[in-house]
């Protein structure tokens, strides 16, 4: 906002130049006596001021203006990151990404350890199937001859603690006696053990990261994690970008989230679209039959959408809604299997809201509303009763006012509405009889009578003409009859 003044002696010869036209109109409406301009001239003046500001204002030369702009940009970015509502979601996104990467790496490392250590002790991988347990056993046993030498009882006890089964440990010891693996030098064994111990530490860190992610999900999205699990919920949030974006997405988007390639391929080839995306990894879809997988995935996506919205916009985190939503999905599965009708979503959500209010000690609004509605119903019933009693009193008064003869003459009872109409008609007739007829109506009746007499005279004058016209016709008929009679007599 800049001021533009003109060289004039009068105080009113100035105007306020504003770059934004909307701001200029608002200022003009708020300050009626202030002239405001917002045009190209004002924009050019402001541009020139910005360009030559370091020359007009002392202290801004030597790059001070550029430094101040850079500092302002840094402070703005710092505040934006500090007050970012999705800052807790970023921790979840990074954690689940690291977990997925660590799963791939641990699988690769475990395969490498199995292949490397099997050159020395190939029978161990036959008896120990789990990758983490195999790595611990390999790092503990190291050289297989330590299990068969004298004083190996302590070594066998340690192996039993790692494996957790007496039969498995005995099989490993027996296999070490007759192993067909090659001998390893101490330097080779050191390298194998070092790599194995690093893999074990990575596996332990993965467990810690899983626990951290579950704790974080309980704080950020407790209902969603209760419904579909920590890892699936975290993957949904990571795919959507944040919990707010997931809450804004419709249930149809949540259903196919993670199956974008299959969706676009189906749209391109005009084939069948995918039924589920990341939510396929939840246990509900795996438990459903093949014909019901699409239906349960659609229902589960709907519940996930509800849970994410509750987590995103609720003030206090709680998993009460997630527990009830999970029960609803279980009921839906039973409905597909046995046909038992599930509960309605409105009733379930009402139960959860009532429970939470009881926990927090807040009075239930539903009970208050029920009391108010019951009082309103009672008032309405009282009004209806009053109206009915008043209508009955009116009917009784009308019956008493009518004469008894009319009741005897009429075999059928007459409705009160017809009695009212008849009483109104009788009153009108009495009024008409009491009021004298206006004198202006007499000339109208005289005119009508005169018109009728004229019409009658015209008709009487016109009647002899058809009679006179008919006389020659009658004479012709009589002459024809007489001629016919003469012919018959001659014959």
Verify that 94 and 206 share a domain, yes or no: yes
351 and 324 in contact (C-beta within 8 Å)?
yes
Closest listed residue to residue 189, CA positions, set 153, 123, 144, 130 = 144
Whether residue 389 is contained in a domain is answered as: no
Whether residue 244 is contained in a domain is answered as: yes
Verify that 250 and 328 share a domain, yes or no: yes
Q: What is the CATH number of the domain that holds 94?
A: 1.10.287.4070
Token pair belonging to 134: 């195999």
Whether residue 253 is contained in a domain is answered as: yes
Give exposure, 400-439, as e/b (b: 16+ Cβ within 10 Å).
Answer: eeeeeeeeeeeeeeeeeeebeeeeeeeeeeeeeeeeeeee
**Higher-scoring residue by pLDDT: 175, 439:** 175
Please give the full DSSP string across 144-175, using - where no structure is assigned: GGGGTSTT-HHHHHHHHHHH--HHHHHHHHHH
3 state SS of 36: strand
Verify that 141 and 232 share a domain, yes or no: no
Gap between the Cα atoms of 159 and 286, Å rounded: 37
Verify that 347 and 297 share a domain, yes or no: yes
Gap between the Cα atoms of 324 and 351, Å rounded: 9
Whether residue 444 is contained in a domain is answered as: no
Residue 10's domain spans which residues?
2-80
317 and 226 in contact (C-beta within 8 Å)?
no
Verify that 232 and 280 share a domain, yes or no: yes
Does 464 score more than 60 pLDDT? no
% of the chain residues with pLDDT over 90 = 37
Verify that 126 and 169 share a domain, yes or no: yes
Contacts of 226 (CB under 8 A, 6+ apart): 307, 319, 322, 323, 325, 326
Supply the pLDDT for residue 65: 77
Does 86 score more than 60 pLDDT? yes
Q: Tell me what the mean pLDDT of segment 153-166 comes to.
A: 88
Verify that 241 and 343 share a domain, yes or no: yes
Gap between the Cα atoms of 115 and 342, Å rounded: 53
Angle at 354 between CA 349 and CA 356, to 5 degrees: 95
% of the chain residues with pLDDT over 70 = 74
Verify that 117 and 161 share a domain, yes or no: yes
* Number of domains the chain is built from: 3
Q: Cα dihedral sign for 181, 201, 94, 225?
A: positive
Task: Sort strands 2-5 and 14-17 into parallel, antiparallel or unpaired.
Answer: antiparallel
Supply the pLDDT for residue 122: 92
Domain finish residue from 179, 210, 241: 210
Which band of pLDDT confidence, cut at 50, 70 and 90, is reported for residue 478?
low
Gap between the Cα atoms of 361 and 92, Å rounded: 33
Verify that 53 and 116 share a domain, yes or no: no
Domain finish residue from 50, 80, 110: 80
Gap between the Cα atoms of 64 and 54, Å rounded: 9
Whether residue 468 is contained in a domain is answered as: no
Domain finish residue from 157, 180, 210: 210
Verify that 39 and 130 share a domain, yes or no: no
pTM over 0.85: no
Q: What is the CATH number of the domain that holds 330?
A: 1.10.246.90
3 state SS of 37: strand
Verify that 106 and 191 share a domain, yes or no: yes
Does 64 score more than 60 pLDDT? yes
Contacts of 274 (CB under 8 A, 6+ apart): 256, 259, 262, 263, 266
Verify that 228 and 339 share a domain, yes or no: yes
Q: How does pLDDT run across 431-443, given as a tens digit for each residue?
A: 665 554 444 444 4
Q: How does pLDDT run across 201-247, given as a tens digit for each residue?
A: 999 999 999 999 999 999 999 999 999 999 999 999 999 989 999 99
Which band of pLDDT confidence, cut at 50, 70 and 90, is reported for residue 307?
very high
Residue owning tokens 């039993």: 160
């Amino acid at each position: 906002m800049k001021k533009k003044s003109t060289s004039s002696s009068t105080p009113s010869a100035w105007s306020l130049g504003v770059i934004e036209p909307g701001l200029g109109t608002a200022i003009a409406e708020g300050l009626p006596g202030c002239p405001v301009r917002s045009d190209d001239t004002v924009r050019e003046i402001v541009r020139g001021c910005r360009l030559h500001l370091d020359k007009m204002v002392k202290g801004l030369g030597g790059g001070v203006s550029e430094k101040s702009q850079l500092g302002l940009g840094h402070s703005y970015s710092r505040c934006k990151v500090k007050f970012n509502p999705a800052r807790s979601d970023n921790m979840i996104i990074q954690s689940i990404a690291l977990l997925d990467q660590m799963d791939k790496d641990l699988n690769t490392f475990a395969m490498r350890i199995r292949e490397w250590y099997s050159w020395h002790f190939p029978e161990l991988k036959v008896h120990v199937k789990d990758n983490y347990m195999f790595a611990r056993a390999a790092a503990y046993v190291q050289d297989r001859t330590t299990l068969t030498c004298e004083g190996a009882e302590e070594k066998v006890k340690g192996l039993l603690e790692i494996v957790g089964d007496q039969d498995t440990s005995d099989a490993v010891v027996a296999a070490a006696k007759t192993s067909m693996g090659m001998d390893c030098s101490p330097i080779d064994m050191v390298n194998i053990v070092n790599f194995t111990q690093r893999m074990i530490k990575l596996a332990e860190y993965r467990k810690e990261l899983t626990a951290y992610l579950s704790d974080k999900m309980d704080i950020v999205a407790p209902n969603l994690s209760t419904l579909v699990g920590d890892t699936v919920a975290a993957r949904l949030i990571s795919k959507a970008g944040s919990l707010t974006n997931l809450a804004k997405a419709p249930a149809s988007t949540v259903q196919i989230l993670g199956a974008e390639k299959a969706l676009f391929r189906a749209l391109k080839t005009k084939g069948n679209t995918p039924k589920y995306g990341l939510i396929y990894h939840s246990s509900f879809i795996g438990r459903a039959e093949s014909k019901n997988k699409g239906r349960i995935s659609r229902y589960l996506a709907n519940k996930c959408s509800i849970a994410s919205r509750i987590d995103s916009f609720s003030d206090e985190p709680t998993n009460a809604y997630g527990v009830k939503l999970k029960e609803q999905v279980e009921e839906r599965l039973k409905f597909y299997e046995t046909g038992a009708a599930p509960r309605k979503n409105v009733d379930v959500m009402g139960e959860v809201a009532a429970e939470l209010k009881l926990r927090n000690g807040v009075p239930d609004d539903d009970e208050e509303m029920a009391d108010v509605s019951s009082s309103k119903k009672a008032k309405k019933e009282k009004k209806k009763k009053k109206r009915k009693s008043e209508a009955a009193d009116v009917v009784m008064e009308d019956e008493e006012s009518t004469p008894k003869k009319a009741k005897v003459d009429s075999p059928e009872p007459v409705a009160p509405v017809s009695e009212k109409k008849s009483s109104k008609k009788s009153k009108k007739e009495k009024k008409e009889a009491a009021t004298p007829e206006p004198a202006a109506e007499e000339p109208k009746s005289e005119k009508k009578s005169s018109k009728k007499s004229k019409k009658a005279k015209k008709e009487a004058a016109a009647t002899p003409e058809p009679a006179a016209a008919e006389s020659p016709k009658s004479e012709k008929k009589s002459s024809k009859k007489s001629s016919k009679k003469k012919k018959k007599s001659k014959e």
